[in-house]
Structure 1
Amino acid sequence: MGDLSDRRAMKKARTRAHIRSVAQQMFDAHGFDTVTTADIARRADVAVQTVFNHFPTKEELFFDGRTPWVSGPADAVRDRAPGSCPLEALRSYLVDQVPGMVDVLGAAERQAYARAIKASDTLQVRERELVFESERQLTAALHDAWTGQSHTDAAGNPRDPHTAASVTAAVWLSATRALIVEHRALVAGGLDTCALADDLRELADRLLTGLAQAAGLLGAPSRTTARVVPARSPRPADRLTG
């Protein structure tokens, strides 16, 4: 029975990968909105119901395998080395990821992906939902890190872990997304991504290091922070979802 179950699972995985590959090629070539589920099933040589069994919506099919950034920040916090700082783990992850995410935009496949999203209101809505899901996962991971028994540096915990986790996730992910979206347009205009990578890494490092230092003000209250924080806290940039 074990071998039979394994073979069925492998066949199911191959079918799913085949449907995804066919569909994403069709989306890139013809646009998301013009390609129907029936078109995908016909090209993949499967029943329409088989497509729905693996992918309940076309949006899920479009983004499948293309969004490691949704869970990546939360995973970086949860999988950090024992005793290490959650914000440092997050900062290190994002600094490493931002240049790479811009760099791959130079590939023809990723440019087609970006064009498809820009041309479809439906995909833009779904992308925003994924952005919010990433923020939700990171909020939960930071909250767990600051309140869980595994976090030994209680003195460095925020006064209000729930609020601190929510604000940190929103601001940090908005900031890194702003860098990516801004440079997405430059790459589309022909900017050399290799030359850009080092500059972007340095920029991301400075930005996130500043945010990490600002986050230290969320710790135990003091007379200094009580006077300074309201006057000098930077206004978070509007969330960019393009």
Structure 2
Amino acid sequence: MTADNGGRRERRKAQTRAAVRETAQRLFAERGFDAVTIADIATASDVAVQTVFNHFETKEALFFDERTPWVEQSAAAVTGRPPGTDPVRALRDYLESDLVRVLDRESRPENRGYVEALEASTSLQARERTLVEQAGERVTVALSTAIARGEWSAAPATDPATARVLSRLVADLFMVAGRALVLENRRLVLMGQPDGLDLSAARKATAGTLTELERSARGLAGRLLDPAGDLSVEESPAPGR
């Protein structure tokens, strides 16, 4: 096979995948996730059922495809931050910008079907919880390396086991808080506020929550790594410093 033929084949595969995803997500929004089968998706996409499975291992994976960049990018914000910068601050900044985008996107009328499908399907809710756990695990690994090396200003270099525990706590605090903010926004979307959602209030709540979590994480680090020390939550630096 020549390089040109291989390139064309990969482009066709990518086009097929994108077409199947677009068709499936349209059907999910129109009919609800549980009412749509893989056979329905294959028929509407004019492909074989096996072709759908060649690209997506489950219907849940198809639903979330390209809708959850945060699963990988949350950890990437830590590992890819500029040298000498704070790893927890990098995580906090990424999550704030991503959550604002998610809240804005899910509040738009044209995306209501997506929110309704999630609300109606326990399998989708379970899959989303799994994605949050996966993101948290990736963030834990990224933070563990940085904290063990002493790259977080709140903690001196420490042994890998202690760094892992602290990283797990910090990662889960941020990931669970992000999910809580998203779920509350979805609740308001489904309530159908007559004047629309006040996204400025949602943005303020997001920034305030993540700022407080970062402040608390610094205090937690001080207590775990130096129980006799006097590092307190009040002494942590203000955001942006």
Shared fold (TM-score greater than 0.5)?
Answer: yes
Q: Which moved more, 1:37-46 or 1:68-77?
A: 68-77
Supply the distance in 2 between the matched residues of 1:70 and 1:214 (Cα, whole angstroms): 26
Supply the distance in 2 between the matched residues of 1:212 and 1:158 (Cα, whole angstroms): 16
Taking structure 1 as the reference length, what is the TM-score of the superposition?
0.83
Find the counterpart in structure 1 of residue 208 from structure 2: 203
Q: 1:144 to 1:206 in 2, by over 3 A?
A: closer
Percent of aligned pairs with the same residue? 39
Aligned partner letter, 1:156: P
Q: 1:154 to 1:124 in 2, by over 3 A?
A: closer
Find the counterpart in structure 1 of residue 218 from structure 2: 213
Find the counterpart in structure 1 of residue 237 from structure 2: none
Conserved? CA contact 1:158–1:218, under 8 Å = no
Conserved? CA contact 1:83–1:152, under 8 Å = no
- CA shift for structure 1 position 209: 3.5
Conserved? CA contact 1:105–1:184, under 8 Å = yes
Deviations 1:55-108 (A, max 9, x none): 121111111111112122111101101111111111211222222221111123
Aligned partner letter, 1:186: L
Q: What is the CA RMSD across the aligned residues, in angstroms? A: 2.6
Supply the distance in 2 between the matched residues of 1:204 and 1:15 (Cα, whole angstroms): 41
Conserved? CA contact 2:173–2:213, under 8 Å = no
1:48-67 to structure 2, matched below 5 A, reads 48-67=49-68
Structure 1 unmatched runs, 5+: 230-242
Supply the distance in 1 between the matched residues of 2:59 and 2:185 (Cα, whole angstroms): 28
Deviating above 4 A after TM superposition, structure 1's stretches of 4 or more consecutive aligned residues are 150-155
Matched, 1:142 2:147: no
Taking structure 2 as the reference length, what is the TM-score of the superposition?
0.84
Supply the distance in 2 between the matched residues of 1:138 and 1:17 (Cα, whole angstroms): 28
1:154-193 to structure 2, matched below 5 A, reads 156-157=156-157, 160-188=162-190, 189-190=192-193, 191-193=196-198
Structure 2 unmatched runs, 5+: 234-241
Matched, 1:3 2:32: no
- CA shift for structure 1 position 207: 2.2
Conserved? CA contact 1:142–1:165, under 8 Å = yes
Conserved? CA contact 2:21–2:65, under 8 Å = yes
1:27-176 to structure 2, matched below 5 A, reads 27-147=28-148, 151=151, 156-157=156-157, 160-176=162-178
Supply the distance in 1 between the matched residues of 2:25 and 2:58 (Cα, whole angstroms): 13
Which of 1 and 2 has higher RCO (CA within 8 Å, sep 6+)? Answer: 1
Conserved? CA contact 2:42–2:49, under 8 Å = yes
Q: 1:215 to 1:80 in 2, by over 3 A?
A: farther
Deviations 1:138-166 (A, max 9, x none): 11111122235x94979634561010111
